[in-house]
Amino acid sequence: MNRELVGFLVLSFAILIGVLKFTNWIQDPFISGLNTVKNFYHETVESTSNSIDEHFVQQETIQKLRAQNRQYQKNNLLAQEFASELNEMFKEHKSSIKITPKVQLVRTLSYVKFGDINRVWLDMHDYNESKVYGLVSRGSSAGIVTFKHGEPMALLNSDYKSSYAVYIGKHRAPGIVHGKNTKEMLVEFIPSWIKLKVGDEVFTSGLDNLFFAGLRVGKVLEITQSQGFQNARIEPYFDVTQPGYFHVIMQR
């Protein structure tokens, strides 16, 4: 390579460096573009980091809230039984208060049969297959728990075979409630001499040894007469279309 060419290349490189260093109209766009790339990089990294942090914080918060909700539901059941015992004590002027309930939190696994929303399998442990248990959702009765093929199966309120003892209204009219395979339930064998009215509250009596007294069941929609008894068509509080987590009353 001749000396003229080498000199020309060196001179050209020196001129280029000088231009980039001292000429604003070339330097500014170059630096601006580089800074844009840097900002984009840092913003992306920061945004990703924040998203990850928020995800784990939210996940932790959700888990804490779920745990608290389960505990609140259990506490609500305990409080209702305690109140029921106190009311009985005040009425009778004597009572041996015994608050020893045992409840188990369970979750729905699946429907027993597709197309039938009245029966679901439960993820339940520590049970006696020879017993029937009361099922509770958010302070309201939700049905009963029986067993099929040795597995715990919930018969929700809408199921015809889901039945338990209840009281109705301020006069505590006794009856037996069961599902109708519809949104409504039916209370039968209500003594005819006890006055009832539409809108009366229906709640568990505890006389079936499945539930303790005072759990909400529903409200009266219609009253009819049948063979010397009254029947009450009721609207249950538990929404059978949304089975999820339940409490099972293992021991009263």
Predicted local confidence at residue 62, as pLDDT: 72
8 Å CB contact between 121 and 110 = yes
Q: Is the confidence at residue 189, as pLDDT, over 80? A: yes
Residues 6 or more apart from 72 whose CB is under 8 A from it? none
Buried b (16+ CB within 10 A) or exposed e, 1-36: eeeeeeeeeeeeeeeeeeeeeeeeeeeeeeeeeeee
Segment 147-173 mean pLDDT = 95
Lowest mean pLDDT segment, chosen from 58-62, 108-112, 135-139, 201-205: 58-62
For 170-187, give the DSSP string.
Answer: TTTEEEEEEE-SSS-EEE
pLDDT, mean over the chain: 80
d(CA 123, CA 109): 6
d(CA 27, CA 8): 23
Compute CA distances 238 → 35, 149, 157, 228, 229, whole Å.
Answer: 60, 27, 8, 30, 26
Architecture of the domain defined by 102-251: Beta Barrel (2.40)
**Domain coordinates in residue numbering, the chain:** 1-96, 102-251
d(CA 73, CA 62): 16
Compute CA distances 29 → 16, 22, 39, 120, whole Å.
Answer: 16, 13, 15, 68
8 Å CB contact between 81 and 134 = no
- Give residue 239's identity as a one-letter amino acid code: D
For 45-97, give the DSSP string.
Answer: HHHHHHHHHHHHHHHHHHHHHHHHHHHHHHHHHHHHHHHHHHHHHHHHT----
d(CA 102, CA 20): 81
Q: How confident is the model at residue 13 (pLDDT cuts 50, 70, 90)?
A: low
Q: How confident is the model at residue 102 (pLDDT cuts 50, 70, 90)?
A: confident
Q: Is the confidence at residue 192, as pLDDT, over 80? A: yes
Q: Is the confidence at residue 143, as pLDDT, over 60? A: yes
Q: Please, which residues bridge with residue 180 across strands? A: none
Predicted local confidence at residue 19, as pLDDT: 53
Neighbour tally for 124: CB within 10 Å: 21
d(CA 144, CA 150): 16
